[in-house]
Amino acid sequence: MNQHSSLNRTIIQKLKTITGKVLVSDADRISYAYDATNLHYLPDAIVFPENQEQVSNILSLAQEAEFPVVPRGAGSGLTGGSLPVKGGLLVVLTRMNRIISIDMDNLVADVEPGVVTGIFHKRVQSMGLFYPPDPSSSAYSTLGGNVAECAGGPSAVKYGVTRDYVLGLTFVIPGGDIVQTGVRTAKGVVGYDLTRLLTGSEGTLGIITQMTLRLLPHPKCVQTLVVFYASMHKAAENVSKIIRKGLIPKTIEYLDHAAMACMPLDFPGGIPDEAKSMLIIEMDGAPGQVHTDIQDVIALVTESQAISVTKAENSLQAQSIWQARKAISPALYRYAPDKINEDIVVPRSLIPDFVDKVDELRHATGLTMVTFGHAGDGNIHFTVMLDKNDPVAKKKADTVIESIFDYTLALGGTLSGEHGIGITKSGYLYKELNPGEQYLMKQIKKAFDPKGILNPGKIFPEP
């Protein structure tokens, strides 16, 4: 065991009694020290509870012995939310992975937090149902992690984000009390909305042990278009033009030329040499309506000087397009060993201004910058690729991030659309939240977690 551990032998023994197994070897601790940020902090021990009672006993012990507890799903977070920055116990929820029930009549599902998002998608789809929140990490992220971060994804432009599908929650608060919130009905306004408060709380208020999720009937028809443009500005402009026309696609994804260069060479239909940006547009709904809407989109982008428009011929081709899109984030490491990834949101009509600003900063600094993401809802993933050991590049990148955040707020945007604050953005929180909001949020944290044991060091900047 780590000699500086906040967990002594007696605590480890008690944790073994609760969960049956506790990992404490260096190899295990290192394996769980990471998330998708590439930052690392060693936990003192790791447990894998199998039910709510075990989670409750863990948080009761933690409150009594005052050690930090950090919930973790798949560890795919992009802001360090599941990293144990103050050591302590990592509580990995992946063994609580039962889809408890799917109620076809009322369109609700009860699930445990460790269910992998993509597995849930497939299960409900096999029953003719649809769960829209679709983070690009859905092949491995967990529903618990999605709720804790209020994950979004390409389809948020039409269907909204995770919070729009969480009807009720069961969670455990520090001290071990089990709290049930929300409803199983289509409506409900009794008291404060604690379900929404927990959704997006980044594991700082309670450990979610069960979720009641809202489902929709699966759309009968989906069609996918790929549109290339000779300028980044033109593609960005088309995003709001499409919506202004009264067309609400399921997705409008934007990719600049640096992101496109990370797509596989066998991308369906190929990539024109002169292409500087692209949109992936998907319409869904009743077949007749989808057909008409797709024709309208094709007419609009053609009028707007798109250099090519291709419709996916079948669902396999559409799948390859999405596979290529989802592979971009990890493929960016071809540019440099380190990545600073931000997920700002601006009003949709101002995406062209944002894209131009990035271009200006790219030319001024010489840094590799990539923009892509869920442009349909204004959520652009702005990424700087660099070697963090290069002090000149690091300093330039920090300055660029600061100006991007300031510019985003000046456009009426927000600093994070879906990845949360965690540790990587906590230093910038004060830029967006006014002192009144910060005060109330800290009071809420105290009400749930008076001893500050649950996921400490997250969201709020520390001295």
Ligand X SMILES: Cc1cc2nc3c(=O)[nH]c(=O)nc-3n(C[C@H](O)[C@H](O)[C@H](O)COP(=O)(O)OP(=O)(O)OC[C@H]3O[C@@H](n4cnc5c(N)ncnc54)[C@H](O)[C@@H]3O)c2cc1C
Rounded to the nearest 10 degrees, how much is the dihedral formed by the CA atoms of 316, 318, 323, 325?
170
Least distance between ligand X and beta carbon 363 (Å): 28
Angstrom CA distances, 272 to 230, 300, 460, stand at: 9, 20, 46
- The number of residues that bind ligand X (CB under 6 A) is 37
- Answer for which of 284, 293, 342, 418 binds ligand X (CB under 6 A) is 418
110, β-bridge pairs: 101, 212
Give yes or no for residue 239 binding ligand X (CB under 6 A). Answer: no
* Comparison of 145 and 182: residue with beta carbon closer to ligand X: 145
Q: How far is CA 298 from CA 177, 293, 436, in A?
A: 55, 9, 47
Q: How far is the CB of 274 from ligand X (least distance, A)?
A: 29
Q: How far is CA 247 from CA 228, 295, 448, in A?
A: 19, 11, 43
77 binds ligand X (CB under 6 A): yes
CB of 377 to ligand X, least distance (A): 11
| Binding of residue 210 to ligand X (CB under 6 A) | no
- Among positions 14, 121, 419, 445, the unique one binding ligand X when judged by CB under 6 A: 419
Comparing CB distances to ligand X, the nearer of 76 and 424 is 76
Identify residues 117-136 at the interface with ligand X (CB under 6 A): 135-136
Q: Which is nearer to ligand X, 81 or 275 (CB)?
A: 81
Q: Which of residues 10-49 bind ligand X (CB under 6 A)?
A: 35-36
User: Nearer to ligand X by C-beta: 276 or 374?
Assistant: 374
Indicate whether 142 belongs to the interface with ligand X (CB under 6 A).
yes
Q: Which of 145, 268, 456, 457 binds ligand X (CB under 6 A)?
A: 145
- Of residues 146 and 240, the one with the C-beta less far from ligand X: 146
Q: From residue 297 to residue 336, what is the string marking binding to ligand X with x (rule CB under 6 A)?
A: --------------------------------xx------
- 78 part of the interface to ligand X, by CB under 6 A: yes
Contact in structure between 245 and 296 (CB atoms under 8 Å): yes
**Out of 15, 111, 148, 312, which residue is the one contacting ligand X (CB under 6 A)?**
148
In the set 44, 202, 293, 449, which binds ligand X (CB under 6 A)?
202
Q: Which stretch binds ligand X (CB under 6 A): 176-184, 202-210, 233-241, 400-408?
A: 202-210
The residue among 367, 423, 432, 352 whose CA lies nearest residue 400 is 367
User: Binding of ligand X at residue 110 (CB under 6 A)?
Assistant: no
The CB-of-72 to ligand X minimum distance in angstroms stands at 4
The stretch near ligand X (CB under 6 A) out of 6-14, 69-77, 280-288, 436-444 is 69-77
Q: How many CA atoms lie within 13 A of 277 on its CB side?
A: 28
- Report the alpha-carbon distance of residue 89 to residue 333 in Å, rounded: 31
**Closer by beta carbon to ligand X, 117 or else 240:** 117
* Smallest distance from ligand X to CB 154, Å: 7
- Identify the residue among 208, 258, 260, 275 touching ligand X (CB under 6 A): 208
**What's the min distance (Å) between Cβ of 309 and ligand X?**
25
| Cross-strand bridge partners of residue 168 | 182, 212
Nearer to ligand X (CB atom), residue 144 or residue 306? 144
Is residue 93 within the footprint of ligand X (CB under 6 A)? yes
Choose, by CB under 6 A, the member of 141, 195, 238, 371 that binds ligand X: 141
Part of the chain binding ligand X (CB under 6 A), chosen from 16-24, 150-158, 261-269, 293-301:
150-158
Decide if residue 74 touches ligand X (CB under 6 A).
yes
CB of 372 to ligand X, least distance (A): 11
| Binding region for ligand X (CB under 6 A) | 35-36, 70-78, 81-82, 93, 113, 135-137, 141-142, 144-146, 148-149, 151-153, 202-203, 207-208, 329-330, 418-419, 455
